[in-house]
A and B are shown apart, each in its own frame.
Chain A
């Protein structure tokens, strides 16, 4: 209090100009946090928030880039309902997500539990599982296309070696998606493993001691200690992986280009094609908005469900 009063006194004794500068100083100090945030906020506004609103605007128009946009109302959205290719892309995306998400989580958890024990060369093993995380999707797609090559791929060479029929991985509608799913697992398990490892290490050891004193088997320890303790981590990984799967693009774009036929075309790829190959900006934007709502809905839904089950336990 005392220094404050002192400042006050000197201020009243001073000339108007320094009073003005005093005001300026306090004004500036109040402005500081806004100035610190400003660059980010400006960039977010221009490159994320505005485009989202702009997408909503374009999505109710017909627009092929050259002519002026023509208002259509909800027509682009109703067209989605009957567009066979859109539903095919949707089906592919859901199938891809269902195949990749639980598997990545399960493998990641298994690896984390295994590599959380004291083992020979544990650090090296962890590194190897983690390595694909830093490899770009494009490089991954290229390696994978070479491994799964119908005629000269090492996978088929291995199949022949053990007396199995080689498979036309990337040139048949039946096997292209499985090849992509296997490749995706390669890139994702290390990520899930790292997150699970960190979570496992934060579970207090005395929980396990208490459980084993109570005569819990290892399976029971997992069921009643590990699994419930990992719930928030599992939830986080579930959301992140679903979002990644729903917006998958790079890997498939380079590996199969969405083919053969339409068998590996995912939603984002179809958006890209509609916009930049067929010049249907409005229609592509409508799909973007639908995808956005799906991702948003899933995030919110999972968040609520998870919170509710946690209240129960």
Chain B
């Protein structure tokens, strides 16, 4: 904004604003820090309420203990399989579908597009009961597919892909068609290489949604062998004797994939959210 205040006054103001924002940032980061501080704290100090903000000891063994106490690595494996397979399926079919809506003229296109968009208005939470029966009748309860398939089609992704691909020049595709390339070849050799930015965004968001998902696994996975990280965390939280160092260690480990994505792909995360306001 353009201001008319004197430079000195403006500097003071800027500093006050910065101090305020920095204080807010400390509050925002504190819960994550506290999770870490609790995870590495000596177990006998957890319940002495007056322990300071700084770690009193660095007990890295707490992590090893927590891993010994519960099958976290198994949950981690289940979550990884579900998230990775879901990413492959969702991203592929969203790209195909978005491409068709962006670059083909065909009868019923607008109606079909509206149909896809209307899926956005049906949150999974309002159909949990019938969805449970559908998955159960398909014999997919307690299987990876029971969690992957119901949310494999994602309207947000289709919408984003369509917006992105509309700007690919038609001449490029026509030229390839005249050269006799098949539609699938055109899609693979021309469209996909041009769509790398949107593919990155799709992969990151789909992974995040699946990794953090709780409702689907809660409904479909009752066998503890099939538990995902999120279900495992919920199980720990519900246990009567609450071992907070264990819980915080596990919760922290559950965040690792998302923190890695956050550090390396923040640009794509922000781009995806700012672009269509999706979460």
Cross-interface CB contact of A47 among B34, B104, B125, B149, cutoff 8 Å: B149
Cβ contact of A194, chosen from B17, B50, B123, B274, cutoff 8 A: B274
Contacting pair B152 A291 (CB below 8 A): no
Number of A-B contacts (CB under 8 A): 269
Interface residues of B in 221-279 (CB under 8 A from A): 230, 233-234, 236-237, 244, 247-248, 251, 254-255, 258-259, 261-262, 266, 269-270, 273-275, 277, 279
Shortest C-beta distance, B238 to chain A (Å), equals 8
Judging by beta carbons under 8 Å apart, are B212 and A137 in contact?
A: yes
Tell me which of B38, B125, B130 contacts A54 (CB under 8 A): B130
Q: How far is the CB of A119 from chain B (nearest CB, A)?
A: 5
The listed residue (B2, B233, B266) touching A208 by CB distance below 8 A is B2
Closest-by-CB residue of A relative to B31 is A143
Do B237 and A254 touch (CB < 8 A)?
yes
Decide if A48 touches B47 in the complex (CB within 8 Å).
Answer: no
Q: How far is B248's CA from A47's CA once the two chains are assembled, in angstroms? A: 35
Q: Find chain A residues with CB under 8 A from B106 CB.
A: 30, 33-34
Cβ of B208 within 8 Å of any chain A Cβ, yes or no, is yes
- Name the contact of B230 in the complex, choosing from A120, A136, A272 (C-beta under 8 A): A136
A195→B277 contact, CB < 8 A: yes
- Are B134 and A254 in contact, with the CB atoms below 8 A? no
Bits for B18-52, please: 1 = Cβ < 8 Å to A, else 0.
Answer: 10111011001101101100100000001101100
A39 within 8 A of B: yes
Q: A194-B274, A208-B2 known; A47 and B131 CB under 8 Å?
A: yes
Encode A234-257 as 1/0 by CB contact (under 8 A) with B.
Answer: 001100100110010110011000
Cβ of B114 under 8 Å from chain A: no
Secondary structure at chain B's binding surface: helix, strand, loop or mixed?
A: helix
Question: Which residues of B164-184 are within 8 A (CB) of A?
Answer: 183
Name the one of B151, B247, B279 contacting A142, with C-beta atoms under 8 angstroms. B247
Residues of B near A29 (CB, < 8 A) are 183
* CB < 8 Å neighbour of A218 from B3, B21, B130: B3
Assess the A295–B96 pair: CB atoms within 8 A.
no
Name the residue on A nearest B247 (C-beta).
A142
Chain B residue with minimal CB distance to A191? Answer: B279
Q: Which residue of chain B has its CB nearest to the CB of A248?
A: B125
Contact present for A250 and B214 (CB under 8 Å): yes
Q: Give Cα A142–Cα B254 distance, bound, in whole angstroms.
A: 12
B87 at the interface (CB under 8 A from A): no
Q: Are B17 and A44 in contact (CB under 8 A)?
A: no
Residues of B with C-beta under 8 A to A272: 128
Contact B273 A191 (CB under 8 A): yes
Interface residue count on the A side (C-beta < 8 Å): 96
Given contacts A40-B116, A247-B125, A271-B129, contact A131 B28 (CB under 8 A): yes
A157 at the interface (CB under 8 A from B): yes
**Does B150 sit within 8 A of A, measured CB to CB?**
yes
Asked if A130 lies at the interface with its beta carbon under 8 angstroms from chain B, I say yes
Q: Which of A46, A127, A243, A289 contacts B266 (CB 8 A)?
A: A127
Residue of B nearest to A36 (CB): B100
Cβ-neighbour of B100 out of A33, A132, A156 (below 8 A):
A33
Most central of A37, A54, A281 by chain B CB within 10 Å: A37
Write out the residue numbers on chain B whose beta carbons fall within 8 Å of the beta carbon of A37. 96-97, 100-101, 112
Of chain A, the residue at the smallest CB distance from B51 is A157
Q: In the bound complex, what is the Cα–Cα distance between A138 and B3 (angstroms)?
A: 45
Q: Are B126 and A291 in contact (CB under 8 A)?
A: yes
Contacts A52-B122, A236-B277; is A281 near B129 (CB within 8 Å)? yes
Contacts of A208 in B (CB 8 A): 1-2
Does B206 make an interface contact (CB < 8 A)? no
Bound CA span A49–B126, Å: 12
Q: Which residues of A contact B129 (CB under 8 A)?
A: 55, 58, 271, 275, 281, 284-285, 288
- From A44, A146, A233, B119 is in contact (CB under 8 Å) with A44
For residue B93, CB closer than 8 A to chain A, the reply is: yes
Chain B residues in 8 Å Cβ range of A186:
28, 31
Q: Does A292 contact B (CB under 8 A)?
A: yes
Residues in chain B near residue A142, CB distance under 8 A: 233, 236-237, 247-248, 251
- B215 x A250 contact (CB < 8 A): yes
Contacts of A230 in B (CB 8 A): none
Q: Does B94 contact A (CB under 8 A)?
A: yes
> Which residue of the partner chain, among A117, A233, A299, contacts B121 with CB atoms under 8 Å?
A299
Tell whether A198 pairs with B274 under 8 Å between CB atoms, given A131-B32, A133-B279.
yes
Binding site for A on B (CB under 8 A): 1-4, 14, 17-18, 20-22, 24-25, 28-29, 31-32, 34-35, 38, 46-47, 49-50, 53, 93-94, 96-97, 99-101, 104, 106, 109, 112, 115-116, 119, 121-123, 125-134, 149-153, 155, 158, 183, 187, 208, 211-212, 214-215, 218-219, 230, 233-234, 236-237, 244, 247-248, 251, 254-255, 258-259, 261-262, 266, 269-270, 273-275, 277, 279
21 contacts between A and B (CB under 8 A): A40-B96, A40-B153, A43-B153, A44-B119, A47-B153, A52-B127, A121-B22, A134-B258, A134-B269, A136-B255, A138-B233, A142-B248, A146-B247, A154-B34, A190-B28, A194-B273, A212-B1, A221-B1, A236-B277, A276-B132, A288-B128
